[in-house]
Chains A and B, each alone.
Chain A
Amino acid sequence: MPISFVLICVFGLGVIAWAISRARSAHFAPVAGKLKLALPGHYGLYAAIWTIVPALLAAWIWSLISPGLVHGAILADPAAAQLPAFEFERNTVLNEAFALANNPNAFASDTIAQQLAPAIAAAQAKFGWIGAAITLIVALSGLAFGYTRIKAGFPARSRIERIVLGALLLASFVAIVTTVGIIASLIFESARFFSMVNPIDFLFGTNWTPDTMASASSDMGNDLGAVPLFWGTFFIGAVIAMIVAIPFGLMSAIYLTQYASPRARRILKPMLEILAGIPTVVYGYFAALTAAPIIRDLANAIGITNASTESALAAGLVMGVMIIPFVSSMADDSIAAVPQAMRDGSLAMGATTSETIKKVLIPAALPGIVAGVMLAISRAIGETMIVYMAAGASANLSANPFERMTTVTYQIAALLTGEGSFDHPTTLSAFALGLVLFIVTLILNIIALRVVKRFREAYE
């Protein structure tokens, strides 16, 4: 019996439970001297929950255990006696047989698999029926139980609300589970990597030549020194991008908050925000298609020969433009948080607006602006697509912005989209890089948020 049909039956039973419980509770005579404890809808919902939730749980648990049962039934089949004893071969044959059982047109080269396929199909059908029966029985007994509990004095509303609160709490825990999942998966895979490669070699080595085909030997660490990646990430994200983003972001924030008329601000600010809404892949394409050739010609013009089309400068500049609205809105917030009295005081002393901004507002807003820049850096170093498309793959420990450079995010993406096996240290190094990236951005964020908080409190 197809699973979707069973699910429709379960939900149908739920609707029936809702309707009959609601109808029944509508005729409850009010008990003298007692408050009404729930509306008919509450009783209906209560019975429906009892019908649907346990049945879905039963179906889920059955879906977890039934593959094991099918497997056991197959191995008991006489045809299975001919299966190869060697585990790897046996699994190959079994996989082929399963594919054949689910799809009669599937290709199966092995004769044993062809013999086994009907037995598998039969076993799957049998256990499918059993599962469907169990699910429906659970649904019916849930319905009966829920229905019998519907009585005049039964506090269905508070029961329902307890369930709702449980669901709310469960949804909130998803955030914690995600965080734990990120940390656990990064640490778990990194630990596998560091059991093969010395952490010192990885963190302080200066030679990055990953080769997913190399035999995993003890000297892997010599090829997996991540310093050039850290340098490239820092140089592109924290130096070149910030050289663009900080002056542009700060000056546009100053213009928008101090000079622009409210009307101009209403138009200009959303337009600036558009820059932040453009997908990074579009920036990457623009950097590779338009910015990079211009920069190469520029490099040639100032006498740098063999400049390549991929350069740290192209990626960094475009990334900087992407970050402008971010820096601008952070600076905007911090300047707005400076008390008006300080500005008025400076203007009253005869300072011009620009003198007030330079001598009073910016020094007063500096902690907030610095925090904003830290958040911007954390965003820039985690950016993948622009560097993937414009910065290149070669690890280069150089301060020349016209050279190709690679970053942590580029290498994560490149290592995990390649053909490497998941047990190879070179592939696993992507998770170690991810761990480093996660820790660095986390520290930047925590410090920045703390600075912002303290800064806001100082002026309140």
Chain B
Amino acid sequence: MSNWQSPEATARLNKRYAAERRFKLLGLAAIVLSMLFLAVLLFTMLKNGISGLDWSFLSGSDSTDPSTAGVWSAVKGSILTMLVTLALAFPMGVLAAIYLEEFAPRSRWVDWIEVSINNLAAVPSIIFGLLGLAVFIQFLHLPRSSPLVGGMTLALMTMPVIVISGRNAIKAVPPSIRDAALAVGASKVQTVFHHVLPLALPGILTGTIIGMARALGETAPLLMIGMRAFVSTPPGGVSDPSSVLPMQIFLWSDEVDQGFVQNTSAAIIVLLFVLIAMNGVAIYLRNKFETRW
């Protein structure tokens, strides 16, 4: 005698379905609350900062007076720092990725390289700042607070990201491409540089842009190497004392003057805008050039 339609069974089933709905709702709530936090954060910054965002703010330099202070010197410092980072991390990262994916023999040295790259990608950024301070400034006596040292420190941090994404992009190129090039007499190096690398480049560039976006928002390692100086004129070159955009946000957030709340929020809007643009380019590149083999 089956009683699965008895009132008790129906009640139990309804309870289970209610639990099912509650669980689903809980999952949705987790996402919605996270999104809500993001929305509140963006809204707060926009509300506080949008009115301060005008041309004099974008073209001015840091100042003790909040109404005349601007972000251009920090933006220029960021650009110079990022150029140094890109010039160092991109070639080194791509070359290391090519070596590890295409040429590396199975040996203890290569294992060590892989282990260090994977670990470097997870080392806290402030540790890279300690390295920059101890090696570049204390040991090599390079100019403190300069985009040169900042860029070198961030390059060490960004390189593992580029290597890891580069290896994945190179791995995704099918072996038939290599076989075809080798079959018509190309050497291994010619195969890699003439055929594999161009096909892997969109993937490598996507990873590079994401790594650079992370480096652009980084503050802690630059704090270590002294890029918190008050800079009232834009830096002229990579060895001049300079600030960067996240550091400017940090410095302004410390000011007591209420006028700096607007400046800080406006600078955050500028920073987030650049980061969103960079990530947008990365997504565009991925969608446009990604080849499914």
Q: Do A and B bind each other?
A: yes
B246 touches A279 (CB 8 A): yes
Encoded as 1 (CB less than 8 Å from any B CB) or 0, chain A from 354 to 390 comes to 1101100000000000000001001101111100110
Encoded as 1 (CB less than 8 Å from any A CB) or 0, chain B from 157 to 186 comes to 001100100000000000000000000000
B17 touches A352 (CB 8 A): yes
Q: What's the nearest-Cβ distance from chain A to residue B71, in Å?
A: 14
B37 touches A321 (CB 8 A): yes
A437 touches B224 (CB 8 A): no
User: Inside 8 A of A114's CB, which chain B residues have their CB?
Assistant: none
Could you say which of A158, A283, A353, A416 has the most chain B C-beta atoms within 10 Å of its C-beta? A416
Complex Cα distance, B163 from A278, in Å, reads: 23
Closest to A389 in B: B253
Q: Given A275-B34, A279-B271, A175 and B96 touching (CB < 8 A)?
A: yes
Could you say which of A172, A284, A413 has the most chain B C-beta atoms within 10 Å of its C-beta? A172
B34 touches A279 (CB 8 A): no
Q: Which of A128-136, A142-150, A213-221, A250-258 contacts B (4 or more CB under 8 A)?
A: A250-258
B27 touches A416 (CB 8 A): no
User: Inside 8 A of A176's CB, which chain B residues have their CB?
Assistant: 112-113, 116
Q: What's the nearest-Cβ distance from chain A to residue B38, in Å?
A: 6
B99 within 8 A of A: yes
Q: What's the nearest-Cβ distance from chain B to residue A288, in Å?
A: 7
A438 within 8 A of B: yes
A179 touches B37 (CB 8 A): no
Q: What's the nearest-Cβ distance from chain A to residue B200, in Å?
A: 15
The listed residue (B135, B163, B187) touching A161 by CB distance below 8 A is B187
Kindly identify, within residues 65 to 119 of chain B, every residue whose CB is under 8 Å from any CB belonging to chain A: 91-93, 95-96, 98-100, 103-104, 110, 112-113, 116-119
Encoded as 1 (CB less than 8 Å from any B CB) or 0, chain A from 163 to 190 comes to 0110111111111101101100110110
Complex Cα distance, B32 from A324, in Å, reads: 12
B138 touches A422 (CB 8 A): yes
Q: Given A174-B96, A290-B44, A431-B134, A385 and B124 touching (CB < 8 A)?
A: no
Size of the B side of the interface (Cβ < 8 Å), in residues, is: 84
B123 touches A281 (CB 8 A): no
A3 within 8 A of B: no
The listed residue (B34, B113, B126) touching A173 by CB distance below 8 A is B113
B224 touches A413 (CB 8 A): yes
User: Inside 8 A of B29's CB, which chain A residues have their CB?
Assistant: 251
User: Inside 8 A of B44's CB, which chain A residues have their CB?
Assistant: 286, 289-290
B268 within 8 A of A: yes
User: Inside 8 A of B38's CB, which chain A residues have their CB?
Assistant: 271, 274-275
Q: Which of A22-30, A52-60, A83-91, A441-449 contacts B (4 or more CB under 8 A)?
A: A441-449
B223 within 8 A of A: yes
Query: Chain A contact residues: over half helix, strand or loop, or mixed?
Result: helix
B271 touches A282 (CB 8 A): yes
Size of the A side of the interface (Cβ < 8 Å), in residues, is: 88
B223 touches A413 (CB 8 A): yes
Complex Cα distance, B24 from A431, in Å, reads: 47
Q: What's the nearest-Cβ distance from chain B to residue A350, in Å?
A: 10
User: Inside 8 A of A252's CB, which chain B residues have their CB?
Assistant: 27, 30-31, 34
Kindly identify, within residues 255 to 273 of chain A, every residue whose CB is under 8 Å from any CB belonging to chain B: 255-256, 258-259, 268, 270-272
A449 touches B118 (CB 8 A): yes
B130 touches A178 (CB 8 A): no
Complex Cα distance, B44 from A450, in Å, reads: 41
B1 within 8 A of A: no
A256 touches B31 (CB 8 A): yes
Closest to A273 in B: B279
B159 touches A375 (CB 8 A): no
A385 touches B219 (CB 8 A): yes
Q: Given A179-B119, A382-B127, A165 and B103 touching (CB < 8 A)?
A: yes
A434 touches B246 (CB 8 A): no
Could you say which of B41, B93, B138, B163 has the most chain A C-beta atoms within 10 Å of its C-beta? B41
Complex Cα distance, B123 from A379, in Å, reads: 8
The listed residue (B99, B126, B135, B271) touching A171 by CB distance below 8 A is B99
B116 touches A280 (CB 8 A): no
Complex Cα distance, B5 from A80, in Å, reads: 109
User: Inside 8 A of B17's CB, which chain A residues have their CB?
Assistant: 352
B112 touches A285 (CB 8 A): no
Complex Cα distance, B224 from A186, in Å, reads: 14
Complex Cα distance, B30 from A250, in Å, reads: 9
Q: Given A272-B31, A352-B17, A445 and B119 touching (CB < 8 A)?
A: yes
A248 within 8 A of B: yes
A337 within 8 A of B: no
Q: Given A255-B28, A259-B27, A286-B41, A409 and B220 touching (CB < 8 A)?
A: yes
A313 within 8 A of B: no
Kindly identify, within residues 179 to 227 of chain B, every residue whose CB is under 8 Å from any CB belonging to chain A: 187-189, 193, 213-214, 216-220, 223-224, 226
B285 within 8 A of A: no
A271 touches B35 (CB 8 A): yes
List 7 tightest A-B contacts by C-beta distance, closest first.
Answer: A382-B124, A279-B217, A255-B27, A171-B95, A185-B134, A251-B30, A354-B23
- B interface residues with partner A (beta carbon < 8 Å): 16-17, 19-20, 23-24, 26-31, 33-35, 37-38, 40-41, 44-45, 91-93, 95-96, 98-100, 103-104, 110, 112-113, 116-120, 122-128, 130-131, 133-135, 138, 156, 159-160, 163, 187-189, 193, 213-214, 216-220, 223-224, 226, 228, 246-247, 249-250, 253, 261, 264, 268, 271-272, 275, 279, 283
Can you list 20 residue pairs at the A/B interface with Cβ under 8 Å?
A173-B113, A176-B113, A250-B30, A252-B27, A255-B28, A272-B35, A277-B214, A279-B216, A279-B219, A279-B275, A282-B45, A288-B253, A352-B19, A378-B124, A379-B124, A382-B124, A434-B126, A438-B123, A441-B124, A442-B123
18 further interface pairs, Cβ-Cβ under 8 Å (given A165-B189, A275-B38, A282-B41): A174-B96, A252-B27, A255-B28, A270-B283, A271-B38, A279-B219, A280-B218, A281-B250, A282-B268, A282-B272, A286-B41, A324-B34, A355-B19, A379-B124, A384-B125, A417-B223, A441-B123, A445-B119
